Amino acid sequence: MFRAWNYGAGPSVMPLEVLEEAQREFTDYNDTGISIIEMSHRSADFDAVAKDAEARLRRIMDIPDNYRVLFEQGGGRGQFAAIPLNLLPEDGHADYFVTGHWSRCAYRECAERYGKAILHECVEKNAQGEYFINYDRMQVTEGATYAYACLNETVNGIEMFELPDTGDVPLIVDMSSNILTRPVDVRKFGAIIFGAQKNVAPAGLTVTIVREDLIGHARKYCPSVLDWQVLSSYDSMYNTPNTFSWYMAGKVFKWIENLGGVKALEERNIRKSTLLYDYIDSTDFYCCPIERKDRSRVNCVFTLKDESLNAEFLERAKRQHLIGLKGHKVLGGMRASIYNAMSVEGVEVLVDFLRCFEIDHRA
């Protein structure tokens, strides 16, 4: 069986054993005679799938009983709207800690459509021209309803490894790209949202982990499918959910448990990212423009010293079955996404490719 090395930012690589298990079950799930994608979301069989997935997620993340887990649709952009619609009073305001492209998108969605959002620019450049996070700028303003942050910026390759002290102001975070890549204390957040398509499941599923006291405050005109109270009351079955992605998420949660949990994945992710960044830092042929302490463990952005080689670099990578390395259109350059399902071997293959390409183009 042929498998390329997929470094795409999302939809992204999934664990092969999970794909193979789903393949075996695809036409006849659990001796029902039908596929999981043909199954009613109201059936007892799918109810068991849904409950098992939530239970596994609660275990691997140690989610307290006073948090609800909602399996939704709409992606991260849907939640950019859902957050203010569920939390922000008409006359209130929220603080947005912007560290890159996606947190800026979230800020704009709130500020341009739903109410007062205060922008905190939290990234600066050091004397060497590298970007870094200035956590001192993450200060909540008086009377803020909530504070928002994106813990990993896939476009910019920046990851927050510290959390701002927001006191009694709920901290709402997007973890779409680094969920389950490292342990987090759920109790420190008012809500965690994440799209599934990077570390969890196929695209089309969004998960919200939200503290119960933050449910039930939605604006009257909040669409029902974005209202956390409605979704909670219906156990995420208000409308037909993405049943296949939910099913696949459960299998990935099981895979994580079998590997030893999130802590084991963190150790592997540190090993992978260190291997890649160490090589990039060892040469002037490539450059990562982020301070080491703030570099994402799962989205490594880098440039070639001679950008006229970009097209050749990508074409050669494709010929060698390394795909998904082109950087986001906003920043250009290159980006290697090495999420949970990417093996250490996959990073070793990438480093070897970088080394060989450099050798071939050294003057």
Residue 1 has pLDDT above 80, yes or no: no
Q: Could you give the CA distance from residue 195 to residue 10 in angstroms, rounded to a whole number?
A: 10
pLDDT averaged over every residue in the chain: 97
Q: Is 165 a catalytic residue?
A: no
pTM, to two decimals: 0.97
What's the confidence (pLDDT) of residue 362? 79
What's the confidence (pLDDT) of residue 356? 97
Q: What single-letter DSSP state applies at residue 198? A: T
Q: Is 91 a catalytic residue?
A: no
Q: What single-letter DSSP state applies at residue 186? A: G
Distance of CA 265 to the CA centre of its chain: 15
Which among 235, 220, 260 has a CA at the least distance from the CA of 50? 235
Q: Could you give the CA distance from residue 34 to residue 23 in angstroms, rounded to a whole number?
A: 13
Q: pLDDT grade, residue 363 (50/70/90)?
A: low
CB atoms within 10 A of CB 321: 12
Q: pLDDT grade, residue 17 (50/70/90)?
A: very high
Q: 5, 95, 174, 227: which is the annotated catalytic residue?
A: 174
pLDDT digits (tens, 9 = 90+) for 60-91: 999 999 999 999 999 999 999 999 999 999 99
Percentage, residues of the chain above pLDDT 90: 98
Which among 109, 71, 80 has a CA at the least distance from the CA of 210? 71
Length of the chain: 363
pLDDT digits (tens, 9 = 90+) for 153-193: 999 999 999 999 999 999 999 999 999 999 999 999 999 99
Q: Is 116 a catalytic residue?
A: no
CB 30 within 8 A of CB 45: yes
pLDDT digits (tens, 9 = 90+) for 232-254: 999 999 999 999 999 999 999 99
Q: What is the mean pLDDT of residues 25-48?
A: 97
Q: 5, 95, 102, 294: which is the annotated catalytic residue?
A: 102
Which among 182, 197, 129, 125 has a CA at the least distance from the CA of 297? 182
Residue 2 has pLDDT above 90, yes or no: no
Percentage, residues of the chain above pLDDT 70: 100
CB 105 within 8 A of CB 98: no
Q: 47, 62, 125, 198: which is the annotated catalytic residue?
A: 198
What's the confidence (pLDDT) of residue 105? 98
HEC assignment per residue over 62-78:
CCCCCEEEEEECCHHHH
Q: pLDDT grade, residue 218 (50/70/90)?
A: very high
CB 298 within 8 A of CB 181: yes
Beta-strand relationship, 93-98 and 67-72: unpaired
What's the confidence (pLDDT) of residue 330? 87
